[in-house]
Structure 1
Amino acid sequence: MVRLIPAMRAFARTFYRNPDTADDLVQETLVRALSAIGQFRPGTSMKSWLFTIMRNAFYTKVKIETREAPGATDCVSLQASSDSTQEWSVRGRELARAIQRLPQQQREVLVLIGVLGVSYDEAAAICGCAMGTVKSRLSRARLRLLEELGETSAASSLERDERHTVDPNR
């Protein structure tokens, strides 16, 4: 479990932008996992098991937060006080904002596969859906990111390539 904490922190950042809140989710996940360690089946993926617990913990927190603290996500005190002037930093922030604007399911799959290197099978198990659904979400997430970042020619090229991959006789 300890070796997987960095990957868990990265996955938690797909749910929360604030690093402290993401770390709280990791801690909650570890507490739940330790209390349910008897339910872990040896021979299966510990990473997938932990990510599934994290995902479920997140959705439980969201239900509670929407019931108890409306408006907390727009709190001005959580915003950065000044922006960086470096070009790479600006582009990185643009990418981070574009990723945050993705629908939750697409963002999850993008981070699981693209950032954490989880296999399609593991991502499907974590997200509780079919592998084809994972591939579709990843494809739609990549296209949307390209469009949001102003890379429309790259998005068009990617769409064209995917159409030819799906139907090679076209």
Structure 2
Amino acid sequence: MMISVLPAPPTERARADASATAWALAARGGDPDAADHFVRALHGDVLRYVAHLSGDPQSAQDLAQDTFARALGSLHRYEGRASARTWLLSIARRAVADSLRRAAVRPRIADAVDWRAAQERAQPRDLPGFDDGVALLALLETLSEERREAFVLTQVVGLSYEEAAGFVGCPVGTVRSRVSRARTTLERLLREAEEPSTLAA
């Protein structure tokens, strides 16, 4: 059974964004309590986003921590032109890109002939929702990069179509189209996945 992750209703999301942006601006002025509220308000969104981008839930906490370290270090330059969440997710994207670049040049040493398979076997399998999470990631990987990003930003992270369009730098209609096509593909794949016994018979 797949787990559905729905974004917050628009009005609730708008209030949460306004609140997080206000905390960010207050933290920029040197308020440590505001900085703590800012991190708490957006930690979940950042964690989901970096886990998706990196494809590695194991490193998501480290990437989220790196994102917030970068954000707090450059908070003095944040002026509130975009919501704090949109600003923070752009920092998260750079943090993941830097991490992937570092990993690409790092030598991989393993005794196993197939180190990737050995690594996958070492991952925990008995955690609640683990199989559903793996299945969802596998389905998302079948989408094109553009459709996958639009879907995750709007349906998992919870950005509005307008925010997602500003974030990826394309028209709102394009984001809507990408999300619609991603949904159609995912629904078809889910139907096919739920009918193996019928096909076998």
TM-score with structure 1 setting the length: 0.70
AA aligned opposite 1:117: G
2: CA distance between counterparts of 1:70 and 1:139? 39
1:77 counterpart letter in structure 2: Q
Check conservation: 1:107, 1:141, Cα contact below 8 A: yes
Flag structure 1 segments of 5+ consecutive residues without an equivalent: 153-170
1:15 corresponding residue in structure 2? 53
Distance, in Å, in 2 between the alignment partners of 1:40 and 1:58 is 20
In structure 2, what residue type is equivalent to 1:66? A
Largest Rg, 1 or 2: 2
135-144 vs 61-70, greater mean Cα deviation: 61-70
- How big is the shift at 1:70? 6.8
Once structures 1 and 2 are overlaid, which stretch shifts more, 129-138 or 20-29?
129-138
CA shift, 1:20, in A, is: 2.7
What is the total number of aligned residue pairs between the two structures? 150
1:36 matches 2:70: no
1:67 and 2:67 correspond? no
Query: For residues 106-165 of structure 1, what are the alpha-carbon distances to aligned partners after superposition, in whole Å with 9 as ceiling and x for unaligned?
Result: 22221211122210111122223332332222122212212322359xxxxxxxxxxxxx
Which runs of 5 or more residues in structure 2 are unaligned? Answer: 1-38, 194-201
Match of 2:147 among 106, 109, 128: 106
Alignment map for 1:21-100 (pairs within 5 Å): 21-42=59-80, 44-69=82-107, 74-79=116-121, 93-100=134-141
SS of alignment partner, residue 14 of structure 1: helix
Q: Is contact 1:9–1:23 with CA below 8 Å preserved after alignment? A: yes
Q: Given the superposition, is the C-alpha separation of residues 64 and 105 from structure 1 closer, same or farther in structure 2, using an over 3 Å criterion?
A: farther
Change (3 A) 1:42 1:104: same
CA RMSD of aligned residues (A): 3.1
Q: Scaled by the length of structure 2, what TM-score is found?
A: 0.61
Percent identity at matched positions?
31
Is the Cα contact below 8 Å between 1:110 and 1:138 reproduced in 2? yes
Is the deviation greater in 20-29 or in 92-101? Answer: 92-101
